[in-house]
Structure 1
Amino acid sequence: MLWQEVEAEINRIANRFYEDQLPDGSWGYPFETGISSDCYLIILLRMLEINDEELIRSLVNRIVKKQESNGAWKLFYDEGDGNVSTTVEAYYALLFSGYRKRHEPEMLRAKQFILSKGGIQEAHTFTKIMLAITGQYEWPAYFSIPVEVMLLPLSFPVNFFDLSVFGRVNFAPILILADYKYSIKSEQSPDLSDLFIGQNRAFFGDFGLNDDQNLEWHSVLNLIKHGIQSIVDPDQSHEAALKRTEEYMLKRIEPDGTFECFYSATFLMIFALLARGYAKTDPIIRRAVQGLKSMICQIGGNLHAQYTTANVWNTTLISYALQEAGLSPSTKVIQKANQYILSRQQNKYGDWAVHNPHAKPGGWGFSDMNTINPDVDDSTAALRAIRRLAPENAIYRRAWERGMDWVLSMQNSDGGWPAFERNVDKEFLTLLPIEEGQDILIDPSTPDLTGRTLGFLGDCTYLNRHYPMIKRGIKWLLDSQREDGSWFGRWGICYLYGTWAAVTGMRAVGVPHDHPSIQKAVTWLKKTQNPDGGWGESCRSDIEKRYIPLGVSTRTHTAWALDALIAASGDTTPEIERGIRFLAGGEGQEKWIRQYPKGKGMAGAFYIHYHSYDYIWPLLALVHYKKKFF
């Protein structure tokens, strides 16, 4: 019978969590982001002359295993015939490692793929920056953002803190590197000149001022230049700006040595410090490298350099899911998890305070060593995990109150919630000529963050749709619904993710299930269900900004869609029953389906396979089904 299958699957997932919990109470399931970080670590180690051969060989093996038969590498399974940037990075890293030679058949196929797509010039801007740093690409003659932007005050219409935190931590070192036109090679550096087609080795459309279509961006640049000229002393500004940029990085180094726990930012910071005269053996650089190494995990018998760790995110979600499944907060597994969560609550003022100066620290970050960069999603997930302890335990109650105050303070002026910082939503900044800049340059309200925050408030507090703050959040969601009934998800793939978050959030705060917006979303979810009862969405949805089915069902997508339908339905429906049967059937899927990315960082460039997701979200959907309909 179906209820027996549901019960069995709930128990199977719960037992998996019991087995996988780490001694410190967390869960360290990998945060897998393809091969780029593996490639960059090889390049970094070779440049710094750190000959960790066992590590390099393992990274090489993992990269080679991911190569397609046509010589290319992909970001996700159905990404056409390959990704130019990723293939350039892999080709470069493999040659740099010394364990692959350019005459080998796999390398020749990789080279041919790159050339067939227009050459190395077609790589992503950030790939070109890495290549420029390491002597393979020419810096543009003029970098359109001068380092003096660091000196503009917060009162100026455009300033450095108008960028999102992810944009800032990556652009701060780039400003130094571009200013110096810094380039370094080692004795082992390969020569990639044969990957160019023609003589054009400039960035042009990426960071130059030669794009006639970018008139709006030119006007923003002129505003910045005028501000610098009118506010900053030209005789002292240049070195002062470089120094301030350096200090910006150094002040945000985490206990593990990384720059705010981000791989790319740490990689770029190391080279920026070299440009500023630091030695390769400087303790700050050595600690940064060690921090990157500390994020290495093992996947499929080979090492993977994670972009960051996901321990806090994993642990908050799993603790909550297990408690939803019936585990008491007093059980050992939950006690250990919640003690870990408590230990990771932040008590420092980070950059978020620039736009939210009246709030006190109290949020949680994503990764294990994150102490200054909290986010709304992790904070509400942590609060869900500890809420059953807060009424009776003074320590947890204080943590709850601090966390609640911080989350509520983060609501944007438009009524929605961002990820990291309030009101960092100046859309003209996305005119910066970089691919999919809206994903890294600003941090606006999004349906997924707004829906999940409303869901937390409705599930875990006494706030409902009559409370002014909730009203504003609901209105923002209603205004952002797409014509077909779906919502776009910023941090997951993609329309299924956004629609799940919006529907469950609005239902949690009391929006009726027969509200036209809810029913419109239900209709869309039913239309997108697959014949096998599940759902699946392609990462191409994120790139093309329209729903594109994957063609197969994934457990995570199915769980999101099901959870939304369960929340929106007064009674079980055939669609819900079919979806539950799919989930209750376990993990009998092809490997590529299980490993398909469900998270994203940047459209067309950065996708995430959360190894925890195929357990967490199905468990929650099954539990919610059981509670509502059994």
Structure 2
Amino acid sequence: MSATLSRHKIDATAVEQAVKASHTALGKRQKEDGHWVFELEADATIPAEYVLLRHFLDRIDEPLEQKIGVYLRRIQGVHGGWSLYTDGKFDLSASVKAYFALKMIGDDINAPHMRRARAAILQHGGAERSNVFTRIQLALYGEVPWHAVPVMPIELMLLPRKAFFSVWNMSYWSRTVIASLLILVTRKPLAINPRGVHVQELFKTPPAQVKDWIRGPYRSIWGRLFTYLDKALRPVVPHIPRSIHAKAIRTTIQFVEERLSAGGLGAIYPSMANVVMMYRVMGVPDDDPRAVEAWQAVQDLLVVKDDEAYCQPCVSPVWDTGLSGLAMMEAATGPKAVQNAETMAALEKAASWLRERQILDVKGDWAINTPHLRPGGWAFQYKNDYYPDVDDTAVVGMLLHRMAPEKNAPAIERAREWIIGMQSSNGGWGAFDIDNDLEALNHIPFSDHGALLDPPTVDVSARCISFLAQLGHPEDKDVIRKGIDYIRKEQEASGSWFGRWGTNYIYGTWSVLCALNIAGVPHDDPMIQRAVAWLESVQNDDGGWGEDCASYEGAPQGVYKESLPTQTAWATLGLMAVGRQESEAVQRGMAYLTQAQDEAGEWHEAPYNAVGFPKVFYLRYHGYKQFFPLMALSRYRNLASSNSGRVEYGF
């Protein structure tokens, strides 16, 4: 499609009706205390690990596990195994865990779905070729020997920041997962496994006969070197002096317990589950307050429905509230706004809920690189004070500024100060840390997932630029300029930008176009022109946009078998940000959104729309398909009735 003006206008009445219906539907989903939270779904891995955790501890819950079994069977792929996202290819490690969990639940291994899964696993190399985290799960059950796992001595926790293998050079999620995991790897416990379930039938080679547990494919010469180092360390580790070993254990436990809260360690499932197992291995009684809190944090991740259940990887209330609030705010502004006292009161409740959760008195792990920076960010979850992120902080900051800049000034200023202080040396922003980009660490045997780090990314950087530019402080111009220079260098040859935390190039490109607009980059800048041309080139015949998670694995950018409300909203928001609201592409996108909306004012889509770690772990935000289309339709309506025709906000 070209960027020429539309030859026909979409029916304004249809847009207005869609906005009103969506605004009402989203408003009904707000919690009594003012926040929004939607389900956050991953693949079969987390629900399967949750079942294995219960059997490790002998805390079996038969009715709950039967519901999880229903969920696991439902999402089994046509290839016989389990994928990492909707319609994805077979994934060996997810399939091994799902099969193990179903067998734990009581599924007959000769049932058709179990036979198909087993055949697919064996066809793809067997359980011996699963990834490191899966082999650790298998080692906990005695299915593989502990030497099937890379060497990870607990003494790593003693290394200072400047040491190459220091945990402080790793991302927050790696740090929290590894800390309690090191206790398990050191103690080498064996699961209680009260039903005596084993999965030796998943191995092509008996585990005792496997000679090459630690092997490639290697992404660089570093991988080969680190494999030799792994072999060299094995005979050395048992001879580390007991005093150093004991100190490492104490340091690890101190690290974990300083960061424990009602949200669990790091507020993400893998680290939370490891803490639960750690306490059991250390002999801490289940009724000890620490163990109780750790266990409850895991239970809070469950989504239990009438007929099935699953475990979320984490929860997203701050993110959902910030984005829902921005969508509701967009609907509540403009000449034809859905504005009333009830809406504004609801938004104020959301703002109040968010203000209460700003982290102002905890210097988290981010402070290891910026010890003099005051805290001022928001975390993604309900409670995760050691690990705020700049992406959530920027979104919340933009909402508070748009609602009431004077009333929210103290919170906004602390957020601004923190985000500026979190800028990396290359001008971009990582999500949780500064300059967390020691790439060689992604080549150690433990990091076969290749996601040990939190380097700067375009989408997060764009959000930070949007926030700072929306505030408009003249003294922030150099910070914004450095960020834009980083973004300019990162543009793909196609004209798009990579989306690290959302699927994928449509997400990244939308994020950047919003930032470039509010930062004042002229709309005729060549990088904007290339991005617009790319977005319009991947629009579908029905007027919508869609993108496959397979684009993280080399599939074409911005392409999917069907259009999706979330992707369409991102694409049209990006185009409208740079003055294309009257283009044929945007008109057709608006028509798609109005036609795809149901009678209740909501949208439906099954595909995953975000990513935890590209190629390894994908996410489905259930709220995206509700608040992003509302934001896009409201933005279109507001621009159509605006004198300036320009987007004045950073999102």
- Given the two structures, how large is their TM-score scaled by the length of structure 2? 0.88
Deviations 1:426-476 (A, max 9, x none): 11111123566443x111110100112112222x31147981111100000
Q: Name the CA distance, whole Å, in 2 between partners of 1:255 and 1:542.
A: 34
Equivalent residue number for residue 609 of structure 1: 620
Equivalent residue number for residue 388 of structure 2: 374
RMSD of aligned alpha carbons:
3.0
1:93 aligns with 2:101: yes
In structure 2, the gaps of 5 or more residues are 1-9, 333-338, 642-651
Equivalent residue in structure 2 for 1:289, among 291, 295, 307 = 295
Equivalent residue number for residue 197 of structure 1: 204
Which piece of structure 1 moves more, 56-65 or 507-516?
56-65
1:408 aligns with 2:417: no
Equivalent residue number for residue 136 of structure 2: 129
Deviations 1:476-525 (A, max 9, x none): 00011111111111101111111111121111100010000100111111
Equivalent residue number for residue 647 of structure 2: none
**Cα separation, partners in 2 of 1:221 and 1:102, compared to 1, 3 Å:** closer
Aligned letter for 2:119? Q
The total of aligned residue pairs comes to: 618
Residues 145, 221 of structure 1: 8 Å contact kept: no
1:594 aligns with 2:608: no
Q: Name the CA distance, whole Å, in 2 between partners of 1:435 and 1:219.
A: 11
Residues 139, 203 of structure 1: 8 Å contact kept: no
**Cα separation, partners in 2 of 1:141 and 1:105, compared to 1, 3 Å:** closer
Q: Name the CA distance, whole Å, in 2 between partners of 1:541 and 1:22.
A: 35
SS at match of 2:561: strand
**Cα separation, partners in 2 of 1:506 and 1:445, compared to 1, 3 Å:** same
**Cα separation, partners in 2 of 1:282 and 1:585, compared to 1, 3 Å:** same
Which piece of structure 1 moves more, 173-182 or 499-508?
173-182
Equivalent residue in structure 2 for 1:269, among 271, 275, 280 = 275
**Cα separation, partners in 2 of 1:158 and 1:264, compared to 1, 3 Å:** closer
Q: Name the CA distance, whole Å, in 2 between partners of 1:472 and 1:217.
A: 36
Equivalent residue number for residue 24 of structure 1: 33
Counting only pairs closer than 5 Å after superposition, residues 476-625 of structure 1 correspond to structure 2 as 476-544=486-554, 547=557, 549-569=559-579, 572-587=582-597, 594-625=605-636
1:115 aligns with 2:125: no
Equivalent residue number for residue 78 of structure 1: 87
Equivalent residue number for residue 628 of structure 1: 639
Q: Name the CA distance, whole Å, in 2 between partners of 1:222 and 1:186.
A: 34
Identity %: 30
Equivalent residue number for residue 56 of structure 1: 65
Q: Name the CA distance, whole Å, in 2 between partners of 1:9 and 1:89.
A: 43
Shift of 1:106: 2.0
Equivalent residue number for residue 191 of structure 2: 184
**Cα separation, partners in 2 of 1:606 and 1:93, compared to 1, 3 Å:** same
Q: Name the CA distance, whole Å, in 2 between partners of 1:176 and 1:573.
A: 58
Counting only pairs closer than 5 Å after superposition, residues 346-425 of structure 1 correspond to structure 2 as 346-347=359-360, 348-388=362-402, 390-393=404-407, 396-425=408-437
**Cα separation, partners in 2 of 1:143 and 1:32, compared to 1, 3 Å:** closer
SS at match of 2:570: helix
Equivalent residue in structure 2 for 1:335, among 348, 357, 365 = 348
Q: Name the CA distance, whole Å, in 1 between partners of 2:93 and 2:604.
A: 23
1:6 aligns with 2:15: yes
Aligned letter for 2:627? I
Residues 124, 435 of structure 1: 8 Å contact kept: no
Residues 173, 266 of structure 2: 8 Å contact kept: no
Q: Name the CA distance, whole Å, in 2 between partners of 1:110 and 1:220.
A: 31
Residues 575, 581 of structure 2: 8 Å contact kept: no
Which piece of structure 1 moves more, 363-372 or 47-56?
47-56
**Cα separation, partners in 2 of 1:74 and 1:21, compared to 1, 3 Å:** same
Q: Name the CA distance, whole Å, in 1 between partners of 2:559 and 2:436.
A: 32
Deviations 1:318-375 (A, max 9, x none): 1122112224798221122111111211131111111121111111011122222100
SS at match of 1:607: strand
SS at match of 1:601: strand
SS at match of 2:18: helix
Residues 148, 237 of structure 1: 8 Å contact kept: yes
Which piece of structure 1 moves more, 577-586 or 483-492?
577-586
Equivalent residue number for residue 433 of structure 1: 445
Q: Name the CA distance, whole Å, in 2 between partners of 1:205 and 1:452.
A: 44
Q: Name the CA distance, whole Å, in 1 between partners of 2:203 and 2:483.
A: 50
Aligned letter for 2:268? F
Aligned letter for 1:92? F
Q: Name the CA distance, whole Å, in 2 between partners of 1:463 and 1:68.
A: 52
SS at match of 2:252: helix
Deviations 1:268-302 (A, max 9, x none): 22223333343455443332222111122245742
1:473 aligns with 2:483: yes
Which piece of structure 1 moves more, 461-470 or 24-33?
461-470
**Cα separation, partners in 2 of 1:401 and 1:179, compared to 1, 3 Å:** same
Aligned letter for 1:163? M
Shift of 1:387: 1.4
Equivalent residue number for residue 446 of structure 1: 457
Residues 42, 93 of structure 1: 8 Å contact kept: yes
Equivalent residue number for residue 259 of structure 1: 265
Residues 57, 191 of structure 2: 8 Å contact kept: no
Equivalent residue number for residue 46 of structure 2: 37
Aligned letter for 2:364? G
SS at match of 1:550: coil
Q: Name the CA distance, whole Å, in 1 between partners of 2:491 and 2:40.
A: 30
Q: Name the CA distance, whole Å, in 1 between partners of 2:371 and 2:536.
A: 44
Q: Name the CA distance, whole Å, in 1 between partners of 2:503 and 2:211.
A: 31
Residues 200, 206 of structure 2: 8 Å contact kept: no
SS at match of 1:445: coil
Deviations 1:129-157 (A, max 9, x none): 11212222222267433221211122434
